[in-house]
Amino acid sequence: MKRRAFLSASGAAAATSSIRPKVAFGQASPPTTPRPTPVLGCQRGPTDARRLQHFKRHGVDHICGYPANEDDPVSWTAESLMRLRDLCASHGVSLDMVEFPMLTSASIDFSPRKAIMLGKEPERQREIDQVVAIIEACAKAGIPAAKYNMNLIGIPRTDDTPGRGGARYSTWRLAEAKEGPPTAAGVVNAETSWERISYFLERVVPVATEHKVRLACHPHDPGMPERGFRGVVRVLGTVDGLKRFVSIKESPYHGLNLCLGSAAEMMTGDPNREIHDVIRYFGLRKKIFNIHFRNVRGRRDSFQEVYPDEGDMDMAAVMRTLKEVGYPYMVMPDHLPRHDDDPRQDQAFAFGYGYIKALIQAVAA
């Protein structure tokens, strides 16, 4: 029981005053520095007037944005990114992040740029040079962060399962999965995966550090058995793997796009309890640069991606932990359920924006 429970009202006041700094009459109290608060964000495209107005109507003031033609190198010059930034600003939205076009969540089979993840020269160096150029352009354009994936097999899922109100929940059941043949990457063991990841980080993180642009990597989704899946061992599909990842080429500009759903999918025990240890580990080390505020029902090898208010994790408690570790960047909805009446998912994401905004305000209060 806390000590103050034993004090009378006058005793409590005396005890409090005895530990309060002395302030002379007429002098202002010593200022306190408020702990940083997360902000609502989103990563939905395209970044055009319609989408930006939609964001603004729903209280989204910070985004990860996308050039109109991501395949055109001209779109990634400092001048083009400045125009994108100014377009966002004209709608009252801050362009806080972009995504590298050569390191997305898509399967390597469908990616037009494969060399970084395949370790194939000389194309790999050309792609790394493009990443470096984008980092330099972001710095000139005042865009403080970029996110990316180091993915070979995409985001495997089994058949959707039914949810509330006729919604469809994206679902993964390893026991029901049809593995299929290896991807274009062939067989990739853990040692090879780490070699390719390290090769990239050793060449890119120093540039990000020099230009003060945060690099946020998404975990593998979902985590897979140690033997791998479709010939690939997913080394960023465990918490230990993520810890090893952030320790490679140490820098305050090298960290994670921490997807809470993907983190929960890594756990074999109790995600509702364990997620706070994950946030504290990476958050206290200032290694979280973006949050995907995703909830799941289930755990490793068997889960559904559900609305944030009905999963196994207490998302209000999660938001309190983000505040506790001083996380100051975007918290964004992701992978929300689908419904035929909502083909663009505008309804689903509007729910996500309001849910996150309310939790941010509640925690800040």
Percent of the chain with pLDDT over 90: 89
pLDDT value for 32 = 52
What phi and psi values does residue 121 have, to the nearest 5 degrees?
-100, 155
pLDDT value for 310 = 97
Judged against a pLDDT cut of 80, whether residue 224 lies above it is answered with yes
- Can you list the positions of beta strands (E) in the chain? 39-42, 62-65, 94-99, 145-148, 158-162, 168-173, 214-217, 254-259, 288-292, 295-299, 302-306, 330-332
- Can you list the positions of beta strands (E) in 92-151? 94-99, 145-148
pLDDT value for 282 = 98
**Quick check: helix, strand or coil at residue 96?**
strand
Judged against a pLDDT cut of 60, whether residue 27 lies above it is answered with no
Residue 191 is encoded by which pair of tokens?
């040692």
Residues listed for the chain: 365
Asked if 99 and 138 touch (Cβ cutoff 8 Å), the reply is: no
Judged against a pLDDT cut of 50, whether residue 285 lies above it is answered with yes
Judged against a pLDDT cut of 70, whether residue 261 lies above it is answered with yes
pLDDT value for 9 = 34
Judged against a pLDDT cut of 80, whether residue 252 lies above it is answered with yes
Judged against a pLDDT cut of 70, whether residue 34 lies above it is answered with no
**Mean local confidence (pLDDT), 117-143:** 97
Q: Please state the pTM of the whole predicted model.
A: 0.90
Cα–Cα separations (whole angstroms), residue 118 to 112, 134, 260: 12, 21, 27
Judged against a pLDDT cut of 80, whether residue 41 lies above it is answered with yes
pLDDT value for 346 = 97
Predicted confidence band of residue 60 (pLDDT cuts 50, 70, 90): very high
pLDDT in tens, 323-358: 999 999 999 999 999 999 999 999 999 999 999 999
Give the C-alpha separation, 149 to 101, whole Å.
10
Asked if 171 and 305 touch (Cβ cutoff 8 Å), the reply is: yes
Predicted confidence band of residue 106 (pLDDT cuts 50, 70, 90): very high
**Which one is predicted more confidently, 111 or 51?**
51
**Which one is predicted more confidently, 172 or 3?**
172
Predicted confidence band of residue 73 (pLDDT cuts 50, 70, 90): very high
**Quick check: helix, strand or coil at residue 200?**
helix
Judged against a pLDDT cut of 60, whether residue 7 lies above it is answered with no
Predicted confidence band of residue 36 (pLDDT cuts 50, 70, 90): confident
Of the ranges 25-29, 121-125, 154-158, 361-365, which one carries the lowest mean pLDDT score? 25-29
Predicted confidence band of residue 28 (pLDDT cuts 50, 70, 90): very low
**Quick check: helix, strand or coil at residue 73?**
helix
Question: For the chain, what is the mean pLDDT?
Answer: 91
Predicted confidence band of residue 142 (pLDDT cuts 50, 70, 90): very high
Domains of the chain with bracketed CATH: 35-364 (3.20.20.150)
Give the C-alpha separation, 229 to 252, whole Å.
32
Report which of 238, 233, 241 is spatially closest to residue 183, judged by C-alpha positions: 233
Residue 208 is encoded by which pair of tokens?
């990000």
Q: Helix, strand, coil: what percent of the chain each, to 5?
A: 40, 15, 40
Could you tell me how far CA 140 lies from the centroid of its own chain?
Answer: 24
